């Protein structure tokens, strides 16, 4: 099971921007002959239609054809375990994105039954005369916007890949090809910035400009005062996944395995930094150096002035997906389950941090501690001075995808759809668990006592 799920993750992460139709096809890209569970004795009354020997009996559980995990979803139970996966693929390939039963958007790469499955099953149930009300009939209730908490902002139609805060505004980038500008106080969308032709994956703000990187291979430059586009930066030959500004220069990391450097004022390309043998996933600045992490398992160090490669940091056995820096150290998190600590001055590996049981997906740094979130569902707290793990935070029931450090709190977002707040000054006790998103919490940002979350369901959370 674990190997199969990791395969799904790898397919998604290798081309992490697969929102929209691409993402939907990834979901159903599992084995050609998915496993089906034999019916288990039902502990609840089955719908009358299922008593007909010519129709499937309603089991009390089933195996999801995507994750192969045992599920107890009432709609799936009501329709039995014998539905054909081909009808799901057909429904997705026709471009359907919204379930007519619930009115909700299709979820992305979930490990639990999703609305696309439910819609396909609705069609199957109608064809076979099976009632959909075995779970209490609640799923037939129309979805209403008023049912959402006011702190959940709707507008995007696809996954939110990045969020950035600047003053009174929040900027969110989505797989729906747009960037939305939100007024934080009124919680209203001020403007939709449209010019990209494919999913927007990354954002960076500096000196009155917003930079956005996209799967359309370009970087758009926007004026923060007018919210109008200034220029389009072209040159990359694949998705622009990471952006960072340092020393008056914009660095862009791409799936084309290069880092491009742009003059922040003239917006001219100064150089193309080559050397990686795989997609560049992450960038971080430390001590006048730009560190780039890649799927090729290495971290490269570039001098921000000369743009020369000072070193290639090796040792990881898996893709490097996360980088963070303190004043004198750089931390790299990898699919090999480890975190490496690099001396920012000597560029030597100081220590390899062990403890996680699965991919290290996200890193964050505070005043005294560094934090790592993993697919193993835990967050580890590392002392910046001793480099020892001082706490393991447990509570999330799925992978930890996002971390942010706020005023006295560590905030985590997970595949389990929740945002959790951990009190830094009270032994990292979980003081708040926030529900509201319908899918994985993918990104977080903290500013001025508030936390902003972006989700696979296309919504923004304000906490």
Query: What is the SS3 assignment for 432?
Result: strand
Query: What is the SS3 assignment for 425?
Result: helix
Report how far residue 264's alpha carbon sits from residue 245's, in angstroms, rounded to the nearest whole number: 8
pLDDT band per the 50, 70, 90 thresholds, residue 449: confident
| DSSP summary character for residue 141 | S
Query: What is the SS3 assignment for 282?
Result: strand
In 3D space, the residue among 252, 289, 244, 293 whose CA is nearest the CA of residue 270 turns out to be 252
Does pLDDT of 242 surpass 90?
Answer: yes
Report how far residue 452's alpha carbon sits from residue 443's, in angstroms, rounded to the nearest whole number: 8
Stretch 135-139: mean pLDDT: 35
Does pLDDT of 364 surpass 80?
Answer: yes
- Residue 67, Cβ neighbours under 10 Å: how many? 20
Sheet holding 460-462, edge to edge: 152-153, 460-462, 450-455, 441-447
DSSP string, 305-326: TT--EEEEE---SS-EEEEEE-
Instruction: Provide the pairing of β-strand 200-206 with 188-194.
Output: unpaired
Report how far residue 19's alpha carbon sits from residue 8's, in angstroms, rounded to the nearest whole number: 15
Q: So what's the pLDDT on residue 140?
A: 36
Record the tokens describing residue 186, joined without a space.
């009124």
**pLDDT one-digit tens code per residue, 9-36:** 444 444 454 433 333 322 222 222 223 2
Report how far residue 282's alpha carbon sits from residue 189's, in angstroms, rounded to the nearest whole number: 29
Stretch 42-60: mean pLDDT: 38
Q: So what's the pLDDT on residue 93?
A: 59
Structural domain boundaries in the chain: 2-143, 152-462
Query: What is the SS3 assignment for 139?
Result: helix
Give the CA radius of gyration of the chain.
23
Record the tokens describing residue 9, joined without a space.
């993750």
**pLDDT one-digit tens code per residue, 371-405:** 999 999 999 999 999 999 999 999 999 999 999 99
Question: Which of 3.20.20.480, 2.130.10.10, 3.90.1150.10, 3.40.50.2300 would CATH assign to domain 152-462?
Answer: 2.130.10.10
Q: How many CA atoms lie within 13 A of 128 on its CB side?
A: 27
Report how far residue 339's alpha carbon sits from residue 403's, in angstroms, rounded to the nearest whole number: 15
Residue 340's DSSP bridge partners are: 332, 352
**pLDDT one-digit tens code per residue, 421-442:** 999 999 999 999 999 999 999 9
Stretch 40-67: mean pLDDT: 39
């Amino acid at each position: 099971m674990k190997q199969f799920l990791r395969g799904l993750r790898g397919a998604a992460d290798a081309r992490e921007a697969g929102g929209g139709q691409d993402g939907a096809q990834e979901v159903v890209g599992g084995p050609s002959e998915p496993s089906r569970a034999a019916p288990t004795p039902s502990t609840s009354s089955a719908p009358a239609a299922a008593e007909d020997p010519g129709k499937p009996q309603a089991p009390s559980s089933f195996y999801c054809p995507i994750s192969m995990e045992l599920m107890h979803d009432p709609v799936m139970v009501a329709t039995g375990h014998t539905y054909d996966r081909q009808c799901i693929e057909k429904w997705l390939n026709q471009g359907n994105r919204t379930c007519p039963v619930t009115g909700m958007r299709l979820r992305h790469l979930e490990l639990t039954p999703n609305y696309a499955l439910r819609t396909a099953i609705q069609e199957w149930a109608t064809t076979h005369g099976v009632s959909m009300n075995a779970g209490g009939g609640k799923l037939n209730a129309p979805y209403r916007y008023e049912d959402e908490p006011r702190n959940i902002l709707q507008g995007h139609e696809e996954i939110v890949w990045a969020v950035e805060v600047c003053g009174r505004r929040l900027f969110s980038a989505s797989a729906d090809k747009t960037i939305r500008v939100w007024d934080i106080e009124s919680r209203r969308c001020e403007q939709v910035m449209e010019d990209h032709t494919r999913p927007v994956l990354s954002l960076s703000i500096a000196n009155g400009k917003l930079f956005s990187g996209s799967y359309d291979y370009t970087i758009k430059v926007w004026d923060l005062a007018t919210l109008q586009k200034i220029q389009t930066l072209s040159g990359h030959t694949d998705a622009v996944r990471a952006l960072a500004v340092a020393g008056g220069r914009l660095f862009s990391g791409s799936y084309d395995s290069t880092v491009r450097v742009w003059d922040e004022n003239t917006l001219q390309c100064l150089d193309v930094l080559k050397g990686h043998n795989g997609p560049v996933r992450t960038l971080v600045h430390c001590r006048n150096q730009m560190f780039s992490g890649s799927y090729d398992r290495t971290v490269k160090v570039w001098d921000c002035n000369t743009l020369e490669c000072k070193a290639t940091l090796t040792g990881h056995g898996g893709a490097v997906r996360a980088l963070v820096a303190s004043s004198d150290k750089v931390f790299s998190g990898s699919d090999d389950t480890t975190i490496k600590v690099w001396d920012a001055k000597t560029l030597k590996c100081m220590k390899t941090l062990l403890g996680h049981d699965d991919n290290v997906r996200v890193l964050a740094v505070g005043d005294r501690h560094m934090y790592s979130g993993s697919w193993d569902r835990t967050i580890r707290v590392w002392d910046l001075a001793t480099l020892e793990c001082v706490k393991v935070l447990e509570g999330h029931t799925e992978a930890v995808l996002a971390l942010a450090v706020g005023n006295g709190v560590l905030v985590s977002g997970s595949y389990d759809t929740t945002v959790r707040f951990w009190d830094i000054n009270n032994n990292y006790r979980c003081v708040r668990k926030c529900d509201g998103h319908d899918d994985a919490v993918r990104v977080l940002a903290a500013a001025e006592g508030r936390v902003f979350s972006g989700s696979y369901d296309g919504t923004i959370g304000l906490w």
